[in-house]
Structure 1
Amino acid sequence: MGGKSLWIGDTKVEAKAVGFDKDGTLFDAVAFWVYIDTLRKQQFLNLAGEEHEEQWEKLMGIRGAGEVDHNGVLAVATTLEEIILTAGAFYQLKGWPWTECKAKAESVFRLADENTMLDQAFQAKEGASEVIRSLLDEGIRTGILTSDKWTRAEQCMDLLGVKERLDFLITPEQVEKGKPSPDMVFKACEQLGISPHELVVVGDSVVDMKMAKTAGSIAVGIVTYDGSREVLSEDADFLIDSLLEIRTSS
């Protein structure tokens, strides 16, 4: 099967598939980060002590009320990486045995997830569902490449109403290394039977762009905050300000 035509901004490209990052690309990142961090922080403080709130915020990259470092741990790290860092914080602050630190860190994230109300945590960005549907309608294989875990990623796709139609959903559980390693791209391409250069990767972070470029895919960066255009431009082939700039016709 040959490549399909799609438009990225004013440029026509040929591709067989499009892989979207989830948080920050299809859903508002800051709203989710603030929501989930509030739940995790409380679980952490329940164990470490309320006096360690500042240490938690420094660890996760919280700079103030609702202000998140877009290149920090909360924004970029995988859940597994966050758990290991949290275990390290427990070890540093409390001096518990390492195995106990890891178990307590895992409980922080598990309990936060159990208390998450998805419809409150995830706010779809303009055009998210529509763009995915339009690509699928035109025969362009479409899916998700996310650092989030499989279960929540599936639930988020349910919120968009596209879960049953997606061609692939790749999370860190399925690969040896997460972003910015190209493993997730390679996994998706293996499932689809295509080459990496036939895949467009759409994301809002440096790790998305580096993953795409290392794999040899087309990197599309979506500008989401002041300064992100400059941050993404080093590795992005295209920069867009809205998902609606990805179209199947001119």
Structure 2
Amino acid sequence: MKELDWSSVAGILFDKDGTLLRYDESWGPVNREAARIAAAGDDDLELRLLQAAGMDPVSGQTRADSLLAAGNAAEIAAGFVAAGSPLDAAELTRLLDALFVRATEWAVPVTNLGTFFTRLKDLGLKLGVASSDNEQSIRQTAIRFGFAEHLDFVAGYDSGHGVKPGPGMLLGFCEAVGLHPSQVAMVGDNNHDMHMGKAAGAGLKIAVLTGTGSRETLAAAADLCLDDITALEALLPLKLEA
């Protein structure tokens, strides 16, 4: 593992689900509802769809880097259709996007996100969120948990920057805030986030364990693995130069 240089970090780009929000608590009910919608009243199919997309219907745990863990609404819809959903993929994508916006109601934050983002902003950092969810859902989450005013950039799979693990969201963040990718720390809970960081040339790729990934699944792609985002503060410089 390379020696980490935090002194050059001037911006942090966060994933949302599993990073800012605890994945299983936040998305377990949502994934079940997504499969129920896709199954169109077929209870047996609903269970098969959950399994095919990466969630154990008994334990409620979602497999690291699976479709439900890392996919966007269009990818999940296509996966459900391939696994037997009778719905049209485009219509199912629309239904899932609407569900994921409502999913804010179930969201469980890792910490007090309003306070957390306030402290990071006070250090002089540029802050953004890049998620495989849709942009409206990200913004709803930021409003609900009191950190919208601290965000310099928001990107969902439908924001025009491409999708993970491509580099577009991180490069879009850099363009929006005037930073070089080497000045950005990418923080996420699965390998799509780490691979996006690598593809864009991020200075640091930081994994957290509040999502579907584990130290074992994330070790090869991450520069550092933390229990959760709150551990970041002890690693950052006390104050960035203006």
TM-score, structure 1 as length reference: 0.83
* Matched residue, 1:21: 15
Q: Are 1:105 and 2:98 an aligned pair? A: no
Higher strand share: 1
Query: Residue 174 of structure 1: SS of its match in structure 2?
Result: coil
Distance 1:117 1:61 in 2: 19
Q: Are 1:168 and 2:162 an aligned pair? A: no
Correspondent of 2:181 among 196, 202, 213: 196
Higher helix share: 1
**Distance 1:178-1:225 versus aligned 2 partners, 3 A rule:** closer
Which stretches in structure 2 are left out of the alignment for 5+ residues? none
Is the contact made by 1:21 and 1:208 (CA closer than 8 Å) also made in structure 2? yes
Is the contact made by 1:21 and 1:203 (CA closer than 8 Å) also made in structure 2? yes
AA aligned opposite 1:124: P
Correspondent of 1:139 among 124, 133, 137: 124
Per the TM alignment, residue 89 of structure 1 is displaced from its structure 2 partner at its CA by 3.5
Per the TM alignment, residue 227 of structure 1 is displaced from its structure 2 partner at its CA by 6.8
* Matched residue, 1:245: 231
Q: How is 1:41-52 mapped onto 2 (pairs within 5 angstroms)? A: 41-46=35-40, 49-52=42-45
Distance 1:62 1:186 in 2: 31
Which stretches in structure 1 are left out of the alignment for 5+ residues? 1-9, 95-99
AA aligned opposite 1:89: A
Query: Residue 62 of structure 1: SS of its match in structure 2?
Result: coil
Query: Residue 172 of structure 1: SS of its match in structure 2?
Result: coil
Q: Are 1:179 and 2:172 an aligned pair? A: no
**Distance 1:165-1:107 versus aligned 2 partners, 3 A rule:** closer
Is the contact made by 1:185 and 1:211 (CA closer than 8 Å) also made in structure 2? yes
Between 159-168 and 221-230, report the one with greater CA deviation: 221-230
**Distance 1:160-1:197 versus aligned 2 partners, 3 A rule:** same
Partner deviation per Cα, 1:13-67 (whole Å, 9 max, x = no partner): 32121111110010011122211112212222325x2331232122211223312
Correspondent of 2:190 among 192, 205, 208: 205
Between 184-193 and 51-60, report the one with greater CA deviation: 51-60
* Matched residue, 2:205: 219
* Matched residue, 2:28: 34
Larger radius of gyration: 1
Partner deviation per Cα, 1:120-177 (whole Å, 9 max, x = no partner): x100002543332111112111111111101110000012201122111111112353
TM-score, structure 2 as length reference: 0.85
- Taking only the aligned residue pairs, the percentage that are identical comes to 23
Correspondent of 1:157 among 132, 142, 148: 142
* Matched residue, 1:62: 55
Q: Are 1:234 and 2:193 an aligned pair? A: no
* Matched residue, 1:3: none
* Number of residues of Structure 1 aligned to a counterpart in Structure 2: 231
**Distance 1:11-1:113 versus aligned 2 partners, 3 A rule:** closer
Per the TM alignment, residue 12 of structure 1 is displaced from its structure 2 partner at its CA by 4.0
Distance 1:52 1:185 in 2: 37
